[in-house]
Amino acid sequence: MSANPPVSPSVSRPVPRGLSRTGPVLFSYGFRPFFLGGALWAIAAMGLWIAAITGHITIAETYGAPNWHAHEMLFGFASAALAGFLLTAVPNWTGRLPVSGWPLAGLFALWCAGRIALLASDAIGVAVAATIDALFLPVLLAICTREVVAGRKWKDLKVLAGLAALSLANALYHVAAIHGGHHHMAIRLAVAAYVVLVMIVGGRIIPSFTRNWLNKFGRTDFPVPYNNYDMVAILAGAGAFGLWAVLPEHPATAAAAAVAAVLHCIRLHRWRGWTVARDRILVILHIVYAFIPLGLVALSLSALGYLEERSVLHLLSVGAIACMMLAVMTRASLGHTGRALVASKITVAAYTALILCALVRPLAEILPDLSPTLYAASGLLWITAFGLYCLEYAPMLARKRRAPL
């Protein structure tokens, strides 16, 4: 990776001539429909879940409402955000044209079909609904694999391995839900895959963006470039999460997670995040990456029996995954629509709300007497974060920017 300088997925890339004429501007680039659709679904799915647990509605009774909620956070919202990133970043990595127009609209429709199918699972049958939903991630994997292979970017295959793991985790989750089995391993595998992707992609974009920002001001206190240390840290983290997926309560998992936490703390320090503290849309990437070593510490404590696994899951899924997705979504939405990479007050408020959600939700298992209040607070913070994103970014995602007069 160090031989190929990383290309920012949030740096504006010229749209090939005629591309916007293949369909509405919404389908001119992958980040547009999937970031907007994912954010809207993050709000809607959480709203439906709150209505369900308060007894106002019933959701997917045959599939299981708790199963539906966990699935739609990990494989509904998060898969859309991942798709938006990959369909935007892969063309930058490979130099090939992005998927756009009707093919992109069809892929987005397939994602939407999965959301509708699971909501309608009582009517159409759980197996049918699960089959429809399970199609999206493998199709996305096939598209990205085609682009990476055609562009001969072999080093990017490790990103596709994470996508393959998510496809498997989704299938295992559905099998468990259909047959009444435990879906915990599928959830851990999915969370592990997402976090390892953050480790890989974060190692490309965070030091690269930091170096570019410092260089703009003539500074030379750059972050340490990608080297063998980063490879060791990623492998250690992947190993710890792999053990957690299959042996969540084993001492070896606790030890591996503790070692990986230290390595990723050092890795984050090497990126010198304090040097870009005044650039809020950049420093948020450093702040959010801190949830990885924090999550590894929590994972180690959970493996030793000192912390509930649900606390670990929420800390990682909201903190390391959803917060990083929101940070990348805001940056990419601005950069790829030709706007300045500056975080507005609304954007900073969205970051703050989601970080607070990541910290508040795990407390529900630690402080059971306060759990109803903490559930309500975390749900409200989640909806607020993505509501603010939609408020500011939906117009720029759905419409072409007007040329200045």
- Tally of CA atoms within 13 A in the half-sphere of 3 that contains its CB: 4
Mind listing the pLDDT tens digit of every residue in the chain (405 residues)?
Answer: 333 434 444 444 444 433 444 458 999 999 999 999 999 999 999 999 999 998 999 999 999 899 999 999 999 999 999 999 999 999 988 888 889 999 999 999 999 999 999 999 999 999 999 999 999 999 999 999 999 998 888 888 889 999 999 999 999 999 998 887 778 999 999 999 999 999 999 999 999 999 999 999 999 999 999 999 999 999 999 999 999 999 999 999 999 999 999 999 999 999 999 999 999 999 999 999 999 999 999 999 999 999 999 999 999 999 999 999 999 999 999 999 999 999 999 999 999 999 999 999 888 888 888 888 999 999 999 999 999 999 999 999 998 764 443
SS (HEC) of 15-46:
CCCCHHHHCCHHHCCCHHHHHHHHHHHHHHHH
Can you tell me the distance from the alpha carbon of 63 to that of 65, in angstroms, rounded to the nearest whole number? 7
Handedness of CA 310, 76, 337, 164 (dihedral sign): positive
Predicted pLDDT at 370: 87
Q: Are 85 and 328 in contact (CB under 8 A)?
A: yes
Vertex 249: Cα angle to 243 and 253 (nearest 5): 35
Can you tell me the distance from the alpha carbon of 98 to that of 390, in angstroms, rounded to the nearest whole number? 24
Residue labelled with tokens 């109803």: 372
Could you tell me which of 165, 27, 33, 11 has the C-alpha nearest to residue 93? 11
Could you tell me which of 148, 191, 183 has the C-alpha nearest to residue 298? 191
At 324-349, the pLDDT tens digits run: 999 999 999 999 999 999 999 999 99
Can you tell me the distance from the alpha carbon of 72 to that of 121, in angstroms, rounded to the nearest whole number? 13
Q: What is the distance of C-alpha 400 from the center of its chain?
A: 25
Could you tell me which of 352, 95, 82, 71 has the C-alpha nearest to residue 196? 82
Spell out a b/e string for 146-182, using b for 16 or more CB atoms within 10 Å of the CB, else e: ebbeeeebeebeebbebbebbbbbbbbbbebbbeeee
Predicted pLDDT at 401: 64
Predicted pLDDT at 22: 42
Predicted pLDDT at 369: 86
Can you tell me the distance from the alpha carbon of 16 to that of 206, in angstroms, rounded to the nearest whole number? 27
Can you tell me the distance from the alpha carbon of 25 to that of 398, in angstroms, rounded to the nearest whole number? 7
List of residues 6+ apart from 293 with CB closer than 8 A:
260, 261, 262, 264, 265, 268
Residue labelled with tokens 């994602």: 111
